[in-house]
Copies of this chain bind each other. A is one copy, B any other.
Amino acid sequence: MPQARPVLIFYSARQNPLAGRQAGRILPPNEHFQKYQTITGAFGMKSETEYVWFNTRRPREYINITDKVEEVVGRSGIREGMALVSAMHITAGVYVNDAESGIIQDIDEWAEKLAPSGRDYHHHQTGEDNGDAHLKSLLIHHQVIVPITEGRLDLGPWQQIYYAEFDGQRRKRLIIKAIGE
């Protein structure tokens, strides 16, 4: 005896195999197409991806990208899920903290103290001079995950999402990817 398996019925408005005598009462296409939207929203999975480019004026710069992430989440139609915000280069970071100029300066000085520039990093034997930016990226971490609840970024009162550029003045990329239902 074969196991029961789920089956979903496919058809288009014109191809509806139940159209006609039975379908008149049972499956008016418009009504069911509309309901399909509903049910997809109810338990399907959605995703939305956007790439954001930066080209900062200074070598190190901290850019508030909260509104951009919120925009992607809004467009996704996701009610419950998570958004990954992740630098696509290895000399940049993404973090969540305060949108206050003093703390941003503190973060910059702190990263410079723990992962100083101007040293003879082994990496510089390749001709590069940005070894410190790689270490700063590891220190700050290159990504965050932001919860999405009831269709919005679910952030605490002071939480803002920052792109941290540690080796700028050239085109660099970030990915925002939301998944959920």
- A: residues with CB less than 8 A from B are 1-15, 17-18, 25-27, 32-33, 35-36, 38-40, 42-45, 47, 49, 80-82, 84, 86-90, 95-98, 100-103, 105-107, 110, 114-115, 121-126, 131, 134-135, 137-145, 147, 149, 154-159, 173, 175, 177, 179-181
Contacts and interface: CB of A to CB of B under 8 A. Distances in A.
A122 B135 contact: no
Given A40-B43, A122-B106, A156-B90, A147 B49 contact: yes
Report copies per complex. 3
Given A90-B159, A131-B103, A10 B8 contact: no
Contact of A179 (B49, B82, B114): B82
A143 to B, nearest CB: 6
Contact of A36 (B5, B131, B137, B155): B5
Contacts of A3: 12
A115 B176 CA distance: 30
A9 B83 CA distance: 32
A25 B39 CA distance: 26
17 contacts: A8-B36, A9-B32, A10-B32, A43-B45, A44-B181, A45-B181, A81-B179, A88-B159, A102-B122, A103-B123, A103-B131, A107-B134, A138-B141, A147-B175, A149-B177, A156-B173, A179-B181
A125 to B, nearest CB: 5
Summarize A's interface: helix, strand, loop or mixed: mixed
A147 to B, nearest CB: 5
Given A15-B2, A97-B137, A138-B107, A89 B156 contact: yes
Given A98-B90, A103-B121, A121-B102, A14 B1 contact: yes
A147 B177 contact: yes
